[in-house]
Amino acid sequence: MPLQRFILSLVLLLAWSAAVRAGTLPDGFVYLDEVAPAVRQDIRYFTRNNFLGDQVDGYLKPRAILAYPAAQALQKVQEELQPFGLGLKVFDAYRPQRAVDHFVRWARDLADQRNKAEYYPRVAKSNLFKEDYIAERSGHSRGSTVDLTLVARDGEEIDMGGRFDFFGPESWPASAAPNAGQRAHRLLLRTLMTKHGFAPYPQEWWHFTLNNEPFPQTYFDFPVQ
């Protein structure tokens, strides 16, 4: 019996490895572009254009992945925006746990301050954990959290009064720092996202999580590929 269990475990491991190599997603997950093809994507953690300044572990392709209900809900938001010449652009969706671990290692390396001026000029890197900008677990790893913004029909980003992944109170949805037009853009995004079942995050205007997420207790680690 122990040998049979070992053989079964080996078969399952090999099957899982083959699925990963083939890019097969776990049940319940989809590529966003297969459900909402008009939603633009700029997956920042596949690039060096992010607060770390490096490509992040686990991002093997610049392609958004989400749990199916979250992808469906985003498509509904996109459909509401399109008659007005507007749409969505996604910066990040599902995030592997290994990527979160990369964030944690970066945050603990206090000597690496290369992108401080751009992303956290008024927050000490030593305080990123305490102020909840970096954590050892992320809702993104459950597959129903998305970071996004509004764009015009030509893909140009709408002015939201701040950049994606800027650490500071200016990024709070309730911040009074943006001008009236910028606050209106944030409100439009928030209104449509909440209408279609997403909850906002109080420190990031771009961050939303599906209320009825299908995997509320599971943190996945399959790569983005």
* Cβ pair 201, 193 in contact under 8 A: no
H/E element holding 76? helix 68-81
Check if 204 is active-site: yes
Q: Are 145 and 96 in contact (CB under 8 A)?
A: no
The tokens describing 21, both together, are: 């190599």
C-alpha 121/C-alpha 172 separation (Å) is 16
Indicate which residue of 136, 156, 170, 204 is catalytic. Answer: 204
In the sheet with 145-152, reading across from the earlier edge strand, the strands are 40-41, 86-92, 145-152, 204-210, 198-201
Known catalytic residues are: 204
